[in-house]
């Protein structure tokens, strides 16, 4: 495993000068690259290094640093090794190259990231809507999207239920039990 990892790191470093590697004590390697390098490094890993299987594409929102981190996870069936390729993109203008010509299924992941984080993949051919329907708000998976506030603004209690009773209070009245301490803060 050690030799394979060293070989991969050497070859990647010689081809992609901006790649910063990180090794783990299990079968995993990490490469951080600039966003311009993404299509070429992924294509290189797939075609030359036998990382044929695209496991996952995901995005982490680092709100404090004003950046998105997009992570591509590849798996090599021959070397039995995971490679993470990660890049940071500007949160205000999130643009990344589309890679669905390398792996077709990447299209689905990109559609999700586009909708949930607002990342624009250049040249992504996809129908407008994926999971959300008639959505006009900001991309909902961003950290600054407040679900509670959105729900309070959008949904309301059905009228005619103002006299609805608290189940706990009804039970207490009927049985004379005391409300446990932890439940007191939820009391209406």
Partner 1 sequence: MREKATTLYFGPQHPGITGNMMVRLKVEGDTIVKATAEVGYLHRAFEKLMEERNWLQSFTLLCRFCVPEPDPVEESYARAVEMLEGREVPERAKYIRVMVLELARIGAFLFWYGAQASSLGLHTVGQWSIGDRNYVLDLFEALTGARIYHMYIWPGGVRRDFPEGFEEQVIKTMDYLEKRLNDYDDLLFESAIFQKRAKGIGIINKEKAIEWGVVGPPLRGCGIRHDMRIDDPYEVYDKLDFIVPTGENGDIWSRAQVRRQEIRQSIRIVRQVIDKIPKGEYYNKIPNPQKWTLPKGDAYAHTEAARGEVGFFVASDGVSTHPRRAHERGAAYVHAITLLEDLLVGANIADVSEIMFSLGTCPPEVER
Binding site residues, partner 1, CB under 8 A = 26-27, 52-56, 58-62, 71, 73, 75, 77, 80, 82, 84, 103-105, 107-109, 127, 129-133, 140-141, 143, 147
Q: What is the spatial distance between Cα 1 and Cα 106, in angstroms, rounded to a whole number?
A: 28
CB of 116 to partner 1, least distance (A): 9
Q: What is the C-alpha separation between 83 and 59, in angstroms, rounded?
A: 16
Closest distance of CB 14 from partner 1, Å: 26
CB 94 within 8 A of CB 117: yes
DSSP class of residue 158 equals: P
**Which residue number, 17 or 154, has a Cβ lying nearer to partner 1?**
154
Taking alpha carbons only, the member of 168, 115, 107, 171 closest to residue 138 is: 115
Contact yes or no for 119/96 (Cβ under 8 A): yes
Nearer to partner 1, 12 or 83 (CB): 83
Of 108 and 170, nearer to partner 1 (C-beta) is 108
| 135 or 173: CB nearest partner 1 | 135
């Amino acid at each position: 495993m050690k030799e394979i990892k060293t070989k991969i790191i050497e070859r990647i470093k010689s081809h992609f000068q901006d790649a910063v590697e990180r090794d783990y004590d299990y079968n995993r390697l990490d490469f951080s690259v600039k966003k311009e390098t993404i299509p070429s490094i992924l294509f290189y890993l797939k075609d030359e290094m036998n990382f044929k299987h695209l496991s996952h594409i995901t995005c982490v929102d680092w709100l404090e640093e004003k950046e998105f981190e997009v992570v591509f996870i590849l798996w090599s069936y021959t070397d039995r090794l995971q490679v993470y390729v990660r890049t940071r993109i500007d949160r205000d203008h999130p643009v990344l190259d589309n890679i669905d010509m390398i792996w077709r299924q990447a299209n689905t992941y990109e559609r999700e990231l586009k909708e949930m984080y607002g990342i624009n993949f250049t040249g992504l051919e996809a129908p407008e809507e994926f999971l959300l329907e008639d959505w006009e708000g900001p991309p909902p998976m961003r950290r600054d999207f407040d679900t509670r506030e959105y729900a309070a603004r959008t949904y309301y209690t059905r009228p005619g239920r103002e006299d609805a009773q608290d189940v706990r209070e009804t039970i207490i009245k009927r049985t004379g039990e005391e409300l446990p301490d932890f439940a007191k803060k939820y009391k209406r």
